[in-house]
Amino acid sequence: MARQRIICDCDPGHDDAVALMLAANSPELELLGVTVAAGNQTLDNTARNACRVLQWLGREEIPVYAGCGRPMVRDRVTAGDIHGETGLDGPVFPPLRKAAEKEHAVSFLVRTLLESQGDVVVVTSGPMTNLGMALRMEPRIADKLQRIVLMGGSYTNGNVTPAAEFNILADPEAAHVCFTSGRPITMIGLDVTRKVLCYPEIVERMAKVNTCASRLFVDLMKHFCKTQKEIFGWEGGPLHDPVTIASLLDPSLVTTKPMNVRIDLSHGDSYGRTNCDAFGYLGLPATADVAVDVGVERFWDIIEAGLRRYGETEAGT
């Protein structure tokens, strides 16, 4: 079977890094490139982190494209409280050899989608600035987008404000552009990603895998779970972003429901909320497949299998 062609648009970020581990080494996927935006940290940091992770994994041939350093309209927000000053605090990385490409992430998205046969899925796990800008810059790419799969939003509570989730709140206008693109969208929000909590037993289980990827996973999770506990009180950090990639590897992993989704752009208390009409109150057409459940055990099996596919030594050191 042909491998699913994907682009990962991200802001690494501890959980983004785990999503990249899965995406970069799954036989079912062809990772065409990693595009990066400011989000969890500044663009310099997130681009460097994407390069660090791919180098660590020995996947330096996968190109990284730095994109937008600021959201479309609002002021920039970061998540240094969770991901630290570098955006990937915790692991000690070797000196960096890999660099981002010269091409801008938005140009890469436009070029790759236009040249494609409509067979590329864009997976976003950060603010949707790059994809939103690409859609505005070259509207013809909409017809070429097979699907957008995003980690973002929530039909219950937010995680930055009571109403809004970080990736959407960090650039609500870009999310609006993506959600109104008319293309198929799978929205994997906090409602399900808060079910995949990385408890200490999970960290111990992954440590036993003993590959370069599992060692990075463990170092990442030690920091991530600590800050998640300090801020939210969880005993295990919710491993949000990899649910996107895992859902491509096993389409039965995530249960979705079609809903009309509108991004709150009002700049009030609910700015950045994903208003998901789960019960069809508004009588409007569904615009996204919204995740309502996830197979938690299966998810951890997918993560473990992904970590196992790597070698034992730090390939990129």
What residues are labeled active site?
11
Residue that the structure tokens 């909320």 belong to: 273
Q: How far apart are CA 153 and CA 175, in angstroms?
A: 10
DSSP string, 141-161: GGGGEEEEEEE---SS--SSS
* Beta strand spans in 248-300 (E): 254-263, 274-277, 288-294
For residue 31, which of 108, 143, 127, 132 has the smallest C-alpha distance?
108
Q: Minimum Å distance from CB 190 to ligand BDR?
A: 6
Figure out which of the listed residues 7, 8, 16, 186 binds Ca ion, where binding follows CB under 5 A: 16
Q: Minimum Å distance from CB 85 to Ca ion?
A: 16
Q: Is 16 a residue that touches ligand BDR (CB under 6 A)?
A: yes
Q: How far apart are CA 41 and CA 178, in angstroms?
A: 22
Report the residue number, 154 or 181, with the smaller CB distance to ligand BDR: 154
Q: Minimum Å distance from CB 79 to Ca ion?
A: 8
Figure out which of the listed residues 125, 214, 247, 274 binds ligand BDR, where binding follows CB under 6 A: 125
The CB-nearest residue to ligand BDR is 166
Q: Do 196 and 225 touch, CB atoms closer than 8 A?
A: no
Only segment of 99-107, 124-132, 199-207, 296-304 that touches Ca ion (CB under 5 A) = 124-132
Which of the listed partners (Ca ion, ligand BDR, none) does 144 bind, with a CB threshold of 5 to 8 Å by partner kind?
Answer: none
Which of the listed partners (Ca ion, ligand BDR, none) does 186 bind, with a CB threshold of 5 to 8 Å by partner kind?
Answer: none
Q: Is 213 a residue that touches ligand BDR (CB under 6 A)?
A: no
Figure out which of the listed residues 35, 42, 159, 228 binds ligand BDR, where binding follows CB under 6 A: 159
Q: Minimum Å distance from CB 255 to ligand BDR?
A: 20
CB neighbour list of residue 143: distance below 8 Å, 6 or more residues apart: 118
Residue type, 102: K
Q: Is 314 a residue that touches ligand BDR (CB under 6 A)?
A: no
Q: Is 89 a residue that touches Ca ion (CB under 5 A)?
A: no
Report the residue number, 64 or 209, with the smaller CB distance to Ca ion: 64
Q: Is 40 a residue that touches ligand BDR (CB under 6 A)?
A: yes
Q: Is 152 a residue that touches Ca ion (CB under 5 A)?
A: no
Q: How far apart are CA 5 and CA 204, in angstroms?
A: 32
Buried b (16+ CB within 10 A) or exposed e, 254-286: bebeebbbbbbbeeeebbbbbebbeeeeeeeee
* Beta strand spans in the chain (E): 4-10, 29-36, 64-66, 120-124, 145-151, 185-188, 197-198, 237-238, 254-263, 274-277, 288-294
Figure out which of the listed residues 90, 126, 132, 238 binds Ca ion, where binding follows CB under 5 A: 126
Q: Is 127 a residue that touches Ca ion (CB under 5 A)?
A: no
Q: Is 244 a residue that touches Ca ion (CB under 5 A)?
A: no
What count of other Cβ atoms lies within 10 Å of the Cβ of residue 84?
Answer: 18
Q: Is 240 a residue that touches ligand BDR (CB under 6 A)?
A: yes
For residue 206, which of 299, 73, 108, 77 has the smallest C-alpha distance?
299
Figure out which of the listed residues 35, 41, 49, 125 binds Ca ion, where binding follows CB under 5 A: 125
Q: Minimum Å distance from CB 144 to ligand BDR?
A: 25
For residues 128-157, which are near ligand BDR according to CB under 6 A? Answer: 151
For the chain, counts of helices (H) and of strands (E): 12, 11
What is the contact surface with Ca ion in residues (CB under 5 A)? 11, 13, 16, 125-126, 241
What is the contact surface with ligand BDR in residues (CB under 6 A)? 13, 15-16, 40, 79, 82, 125-126, 151, 159, 165-167, 240-241
